[in-house]
Amino acid sequence: VGNTGEVGWFTREKRIPTQINCNLIDVNKDRQKDCLVVGTEGLLATLNALSGTHYWHVNKNGNVSTDIAAIDFPLIVNDTDSDGVLDLLTIGTVYPNTNHNELLLISGANGNIIGGPLVIPECTSVKLLPEATFITYLCKNGPAEAVRQILYPHLLKKLSANHGSEVPLPKKANLSLKKNIGNTRTEYSNGPGKLIVENEGECPNSCRVNLTLVLEQNGSNNVTWEYTANHVFAMAPSSFSFPNSIRGFVIKL
């Protein structure tokens, strides 16, 4: 919790969570954003940000999907199944395919796979990139890499119809891909609270993380919580706030 540093809730997954964001989707339409969690062995789930209660795990017609070997953190897309909740587009490795090149369209309301999997045949590995008008992705095939684009409405129509096994012919895109390397210090604000995230070194051998929670009170900044650990890397946190003035951060280490 942002103003005290206390643990607001705790939940355990059978698979290892690797990414979480609590600012993207409102699963139950209560006007409060919920947490989207992705992890190893195809983990994709949503939780109530206030209580930690699960809403759903990715499934096929109500049965938890066990044939997804790996899944990326999804992009939020328009509501394609008309249930009033935004949907999710992601890339997965789906048995028996061993390539990470299949598009999945997932209902944001219940986690049901409503489109795909659709194979991108010219790529052995695919990574979606956030763009507005186009679905943009990084296509890898051996040592070769290329950025491709597919028209957004065209792809969603094809996915939601489950029509065919391959995506439309993509367009080449001219984008610059950058990767930041080195020690970082980033500040994240949420109302009167500020979380300072410092990563240094190289994991897993020499990395180190420092987390500092600062609360502004009566014009002065007070450190209310600190955390330091070796061989640990902190991801970018998500912030949350509720009408009862509870604010805080969710962070994956």
36 or 175, which is more confident: 36
What CATH number does domain 17-172 carry, 3.30.70.120, 3.40.50.170, 2.40.10.480, 3.30.1490.20?
2.40.10.480
CA distance linking residue 148 with residue 129, whole number of Å: 10
Q: Write b or e for each residue in 149-169: b if 16 or more Cβ atoms lie within 10 A of its Cβ, otherwise e.
A: bbebeebbebbeeeeeeebee
Confidence (pLDDT) at 2 = 64
Confidence (pLDDT) at 162 = 53
pLDDT, one tens digit per residue, over 143-170 is 777 888 777 677 777 666 654 445 444 4
CA distance linking residue 151 with residue 173, whole number of Å: 12
pTM higher than 0.85, yes or no? no
Domains 17-172 and 184-250 share a fold: no
pLDDT, one tens digit per residue, over 19-57 is 999 999 999 999 999 999 999 999 999 999 888 899 999
Q: Which pair of tokens denotes residue 22? A: 């609590």
Confidence (pLDDT) at 133 = 61
Confidence (pLDDT) at 178 = 38
Q: How far is CA 10 from CA 7, 30, 39, in A?
A: 7, 22, 16
pLDDT, one tens digit per residue, over 112-131 is 998 888 888 888 999 888 76
Instruction: State the CATH architecture for 184-250.
Output: Single Sheet (2.20)
Domain ranges in the chain are: 17-172, 184-250
- Cβ atoms of 251 and 197 within 8 Å: the answer is yes
